[in-house]
Copies of this chain bind each other. A is one copy, B any other.
Amino acid sequence: MATVKKRAKAALELCGGADKDYTDQIVKVAKALLKMNNVLILSHRSPDGDTLGCAYALCRGMRSLGKKAAVKCADEIPGKYSFMYEGMEQQTFEPEHFVTVDIAGAHLLGSIADEYEKKIDVCIDHHFRNSIEAPVKLVDTDASATAELIWLILNAMGVKMDKEMASCLFAAISTDTGCFKYSNVKPRTHLIAVELMKYGVDCAGINFKLIDEVSQAQLELKKQALSTLEYFCNNQCAIVTVTSEMIQQTGASPEDLDGISNIPRSISGVECGITMRQINDGWKISVRSSEKVNASDLCGKFGGGGHKAAAGCKFSESYEETKKQLVDAVSEILK
């Protein structure tokens, strides 16, 4: 299998960073996958473009080598991702091997966690603190999207890339980088995009569908949420609220909430943007922040957590009390 190594090196050289250890990791995963047949590829619950793009690209790649493979996800796949599996045949087989893609922990398998968490053979991911237990693991937190790793692995496996696989991988990268907008974008990200474009991917079409396109319900929800916008702390903190009534009235789905939590932080001068979303027993809080406010620390005060610039927590207090506690905490940080 010396050719696997050669192909891995070639792919890594194309996009930078072919150090020995890293090449060996890619080779290990590729070899493990090449030995498998009847493979079930698992995506995380509330699936997004990265977990699905990785799953369908890998599934198509395995099938192109004559293997049986399928994708499974606990939750329904939003219609905008249908291009990823269009034209794929239904295959019936008894799964023998299990691969997770873009899943940081077994609980993120959702309702199928109990069934599969002890069976995972290969875990491919880019999240910090990945807690999945599997004999073969590749977790590279430098990858902007798990799809960067799938691209390397497919190349190492000797899979002949095609437009469908390339479209899945491009969609995955576009999703996780906000279309090359965020700080997770590395030269490698652009270089892999260049390679994928060679297969005739409709990049602009995918970007429109995944990033710009909104449903009527989503836009109506956004409008209603905007009408709740309030400023605090000398306009350095902004809060928008999404009530259960708004969601019910607009008929918005959970994915229609995407994007709203980025609004308050995007306002000039706002260091801490908060979205308060009503849930059964209180409020689910999303915080987005600049470098002046550590969102993870802020949410940590209320039993939540996350990253420096994006974190969350929950409150079971009333609306006014929740808002007061949050604003007081932000004031304390910004004073």
Contact = CB atoms under 8 A, between A and B. Distances in A.
Contacts of A216: 231, 235, 267-269
B185 A204 contact: yes
Interface string A163-199: 0000000000000001111110111001101100110
A214 interface: yes
A7 to B, nearest CB: 22
Interface in A180-229: 180-183, 185-187, 190-191, 193-194, 197-198, 203-204, 207-208, 211-216, 219, 222-223, 226-227, 229
Given A219-B226, A219-B229, A222-B226, A181 B211 contact: yes
A189 to B, nearest CB: 9
A262 interface: yes
A204 B183 CA distance: 5
A32 B256 CA distance: 54
Contact of A191 (B190, B208, B211, B227): B190
Contacts of A204: 181-183, 185
A263 interface: yes
17 contacts: A178-B179, A180-B193, A181-B204, A181-B208, A182-B204, A187-B198, A190-B191, A190-B194, A213-B266, A214-B266, A214-B267, A215-B268, A216-B269, A219-B226, A219-B229, A219-B263, A226-B226
Contact of A262 (B183, B212, B226, B262): B212
Contact of A223 (B185, B186, B227, B266): B227
Contacts of A191: 190-191, 194
B181 A219 contact: no
Contacts of A235: 216
Interface of A: 178-183, 185-187, 190-191, 193-194, 197-198, 203-204, 207-208, 211-216, 219, 222-223, 226-227, 229, 231, 235, 262-263, 266-269
A256 to B, nearest CB: 11
A231 B185 CA distance: 38
Contacts of A212: 181, 262, 266
Contacts of A229: 219, 223
A211 B263 CA distance: 12
Given A190-B193, A212-B266, A207 B181 contact: yes
A197 B185 CA distance: 10
Contacts of A211: 181
Contacts of A185: 203-204
Contacts of A227: 223
A200 to B, nearest CB: 12
A214 B182 contact: no
Contacts of A231: 216
